Amino acid sequence: MLAGRFAIDDYIALLDHEYPLFAQSQYQLLRGRAAMGAVILQSEPFIQGLLGIHEFFAAGNGPADITAGTIEHRIYKAEHEATRCLIDYYQAAAENDFQTLITTLLAFVRTDCARFRLRDELRAEEIISLLQPGKSTFVEAGGMHLLLPRYLEANLPDGWEMSVHSIEQELLDTLGLGWDGFSPGDELTARYFDRVQPNREAETLLAAQAIVFTKVITKGEVDEPADTIPHLSHEYRANRLVRSLDVAQCRDIYEQITLLPSSEAFAHAVAMSAK
């Protein structure tokens, strides 16, 4: 695709992108950079290891056949625990028990953080190994890969310097929202990343707000003018709404909106929060 031998639209259709309009713009940019001589690589050793494990299982092997202490074993354990907790969360959602939903969400976030930690550790190791003296290297990562720059900076070879630029923060400053871009779920995740002193009350509130946030946030791609920054604007409104709620309000609103599509859920939640 980068070399132009594969049409971008066909490539997007093959991958079944959740955000095809964004992907099209991104791939056009990457193709242009490649044409100018930039070397573009995908660094995701955790995912590559996970794919290898799936092939290992497809060949008739099982979890007990993965050698303990190996990277593959660490990847399997991290993925297995996070997936188990996510299934527990989905089951709690099906039972519509809000307190159990909070408990299972907190368990999932902890295991997801462990998975993120390993994922960013492995990615940092690979990126460091790819550095070439005299050549600048640009790393693109999602906003929740908070540990990646820490791992990179801690292991940079002598003579290298690193700076971090947040595109999301740049857009937030453009909108003048005075927000750090963190939803309740993001803040909860960051607390576990930083191993903040446990605070059950604070974590319970963040979890309750996060549950409502996931119901009212706009799903899928928003086909609106790019200069309005639609996704971030929608996230800001959803975040402002849920941050005003206590745990009891989150429970009451969730029970009323759980079966509604996100657009209706947001309007209904706003109306309920105003009472």
Reported as a single tens digit per residue, the pLDDT across 13-70 is: 888 788 888 899 999 999 999 999 999 999 999 999 999 999 999 999 999 999 999 9
Report the mean per-residue pLDDT for the chain: 92
Write down the pLDDT at residue 173.
Answer: 87
In a domain, 194, yes or no: yes
Residues 6+ positions from 166 with CB-CB distance below 8 Å:
143, 181
Separation CA 32–CA 66 (nearest Å): 42
Q: Where are the alpha helices (DSSP H) in 96-146?
A: 98-130
**Both structure tokens of 53:** 């494990």
- Any domain includes 20: no
Q: Which structural domain range is residue 204 located in?
A: 167-275
The total of structural domains in the chain comes to 1
Please indicate, yes or no, if residue 115 is contained in any of the structural domains: no
Res. 232 pLDDT band, cuts 50 70 90 = confident
- What is the maximum span of the chain, computed from C-alpha positions, in angstroms? 61
Q: Classify residue 189: in a domain, yes or no.
A: yes
State which amino acid sits at residue 107: A
Q: Residue 267: inside a domain, yes or no? A: yes
Phi first, then psi, for residue 232 (nearest 5°) are: -65, -35
Backbone phi, psi, residue 63, to 5°: -55, -35
* Residue 272: inside a domain: yes
Residue 263 domain flag:
yes
Average pLDDT over residues 191-205: 90
pLDDT at residue 3, as a whole number: 85
Q: What is the pTM of this model?
A: 0.90
79 neighbors 117 (Cβ within 8 angstroms): no
- Tell me, what's the pLDDT at 43? 94
- CA distances 190 to 24, 162, 274, Å, are 31, 22, 30
Query: Would you say residue 177 has pLDDT above 90?
Result: no
Choice between 104 and 222, residue whose per-residue pLDDT is larger: 104
In a domain, 254, yes or no: yes
Q: What is the mean pLDDT of residues 7-18?
A: 86
Give CA–CA dist 170/227, Å, rounded. 13
Question: d(Cα 252, Cα 258) in Å, to the nearest integer?
Answer: 10
